[in-house]
Chain A
Amino acid sequence: MNSAATWPHETPDADLPLVVRGVTKHFKRRGRAQSSSGRRRVHRAVQSVSFTVQPGEIYGVIGANGSGKSTLIRILSTLILPDQGEVLVFGRDALRDPASVRPLLNRVSADPSFFRAMSALENLLFYGRAYGMAGPAVRRRSAELLARLGLEREATEPMTELSRGQQQKVAVARAFLSSPRLLLLDEPTTGLDPRSKRTVQRFIDDARRDGVAVLLTTHDMDEAELLCDRLAFLAGGRIVAEGTSAELRAQVAGTDRRPDQVDLEDVFMAYTGRSIEEDEEEDQPVEVGQHDPI
């Protein structure tokens, strides 16, 4: 794991893959969440979140379901407009000028979403072209990525014929196809078998070696420990702790314990007052169309 201390602290914004300053997003909830007075309740999805991702860094955001990770990723992906704050991708304003940052970033979400009747290659052809790549270049790069992911034989099969793990690997191929400089990975290994999980994690690690900056959201502490250079714990839409794994463990260990006697689950409990499983159990799913902005 790299140490945060090795990153230049005075890097200008234009060279920083991602700068997030004071990002806040609230929604009004309807339906079940409506209060007894009939007024819509405010759901504070993301609150004053600020952080920076350095070139070649894997920055992990850990939180339970409903902690604001996916809303944050959607804001960074230019799919949700925050109420407040600033998002800069290589110095460009992602909120005011999203078109200028989109060629630089790509994303893997927890749920691999594709045109199900089309094959992996046909899907990749569409997304490659949508990122301005020529047909032959997309086919060449797709074949190379799918081969690295062990999916040569499945390339021309309809997506419906592929397993969940295989579909997620195609989602990884889609994200890498456009050679992004900033990767937004929203729980990319959720639901994968251990072997597929290792393959995807190796891909992410290789991307870091190639200088790609990665924002990785996860609730898998082992994965965070394995991959992330720095970590932020998100609870109730706020970053409650940030640092390298060693720094965070040392802070929680205090003077009573050695840092190696503390794991990231202990850190999570120390900063949020609950385990990640408890947070997940209390989480309520939110349907499309139930939200309105304030």
Chain B
Amino acid sequence: MTRSEELVRRRAPRRVALGWAFFERQTNLWKRYWAWELVWILYGLVNTLAITFIAKQAEHGGLVRPAAVPRLTLFLLIGTLTWAYLSAVLDDMSLVITWERWEGTIEHTFMTPVSRTVHLVGMSVFGVVHAVVRTAVIMACALPFFDVRFAQVNWLEVALVVAVGSVSLVGLGILTGILPMLYPERGVQMSFMVQALVLLVSGVYYGVDVLPGWLQAASHLSPATFMLRGLRAAMLGGASLGGQLRTLAILAVFGLVMVPGSLVVFSAAERWAKRTGRLKRQG
């Protein structure tokens, strides 16, 4: 063994510890920016209330039968909370590059001996945990405003759909995170556009079957469509076991394709950024 091989072997870092570095860093940042977290929770809560109150208006205006109001309330609540969760994951992942550019740390982080897979997995795990906590707080604050019944909810199915669906969301998040690397000045806005398209085609506040045909076709490209389908089936009742298994299988395929695929695309984008000199601080 040569001296350099010995040096590298002795310093070969452990992957879990390396992934933990990113989780811990994001937690420290989250603590330091707690006021911003409050702002986002308040924004999410207001958004949840504003949309779910439409169910009360529908009852008040005689648009739906009183018996259907709790179901409509839960339908809208599932949409708003899923969107709060989904946008929290996507936001955290789209900040992988943007935040580091803003702080000026991108070069120091990208020259550490952490593989990009471990880096992104560490960020993803934080993103999912962060999104779960934020969504749970919004849900806890929103529920007292509405008469929601959970007797029919299959919580095991909810947990399964969220767990499997989150993997594909991470893949989508990594893909949106690439945009700020390729386009230092416009990338963030472009990732917001991706989020807006996901919001439109995934049937967050309505079923996708109300969309025009071409948008219904586009809805099949969004993992959020199937996550929402699985969650509504688990929480509103009436889901067949076969239907739920099919939804879970589709979400699993999304995850299996999107996570490795997004990692490959991220690596290619990083290589391109290194060729063009874009992998540096901004401002």
**B105 contacts which of A14, A102, A114, A289 (Cβ < 8 Å)?**
A114
- Tell me if A202 is interfacial: C-beta within 8 Å of chain B: no
- Tell me if B280 is interfacial: C-beta within 8 Å of chain A: yes
B279 proximity list for chain A (CB < 8 A): 79-80
- Tell me if B185 is interfacial: C-beta within 8 Å of chain A: yes
B107 in contact with A109 (CB, 8 Å) = yes
B17 in contact with A99 (CB, 8 Å) = no
Nearest CB in chain A: distance from B32 CB, A: 4
B21 in contact with A293 (CB, 8 Å) = no
Residues A99 and B7 in contact in the complex (CB < 8 Å), given A113-B107, A114-B103:
no
Chain B residues engaging chain A, CB cutoff 8 angstroms? 2-4, 7-8, 11-14, 17-18, 20-22, 24-25, 28-29, 32-33, 103-105, 107-115, 183-185, 271, 274-282
- Tell me if A27 is interfacial: C-beta within 8 Å of chain B: yes
Residues A14 and B108 in contact in the complex (CB < 8 Å), given A118-B29, A288-B184, A291-B276:
no
Q: Given the complex of chains A and B, what is the CA–CA distance between A289 and B109 in angstroms?
A: 20
Q: Count of A residues near B, CB < 8 Å?
A: 46
- Tell me if A259 is interfacial: C-beta within 8 Å of chain B: no
A131 proximity list for chain B (CB < 8 A): 11, 13, 112-113
Chain B's closest residue to A25 (CB) is B277
**B113 contacts which of A80, A113, A130, A174 (Cβ < 8 Å)?**
A130
Chain B's closest residue to A159 (CB) is B103
Chain B's closest residue to A179 (CB) is B11
Residues A113 and B105 in contact in the complex (CB < 8 Å), given A81-B271, A131-B112, A131-B113:
yes
Q: What 8 A-B pairs are tightest by C-beta distance, nearest first?
A: A132-B13, A113-B104, A90-B4, A129-B21, A103-B11, A117-B32, A102-B113, A130-B112
Q: Given the complex of chains A and B, what is the CA–CA distance between A79 and B107 in angstroms?
A: 7
B108 in contact with A113 (CB, 8 Å) = yes
Residue among A81, A116, A132 having the largest count of chain B Cβ atoms under 10 Å? A132
Residue among B24, B110, B271, B280 having the largest count of chain A Cβ atoms under 10 Å? B280
A105 proximity list for chain B (CB < 8 A): 111
Chain B's closest residue to A98 (CB) is B111
Q: Given the complex of chains A and B, what is the CA–CA distance between A128 and B12 in angstroms?
A: 13
A92 proximity list for chain B (CB < 8 A): 4, 8
Interface locus among A1-9, A59-67, A119-127, A213-221: A119-127
**A74 contacts which of B183, B271, B280 (Cβ < 8 Å)?**
B280
B103 proximity list for chain A (CB < 8 A): 113-116
B108 proximity list for chain A (CB < 8 A): 107, 109, 113, 127, 174
Query: What are 30 A-B pairs with beta-carbon distances under 8 A?
Result: A14-B3, A15-B4, A27-B277, A79-B110, A79-B111, A79-B279, A81-B274, A99-B113, A99-B115, A102-B112, A104-B8, A107-B107, A107-B111, A115-B25, A115-B29, A115-B103, A117-B29, A122-B25, A126-B21, A126-B28, A129-B24, A131-B13, A131-B112, A131-B113, A132-B12, A132-B14, A132-B113, A181-B7, A288-B280, A292-B276
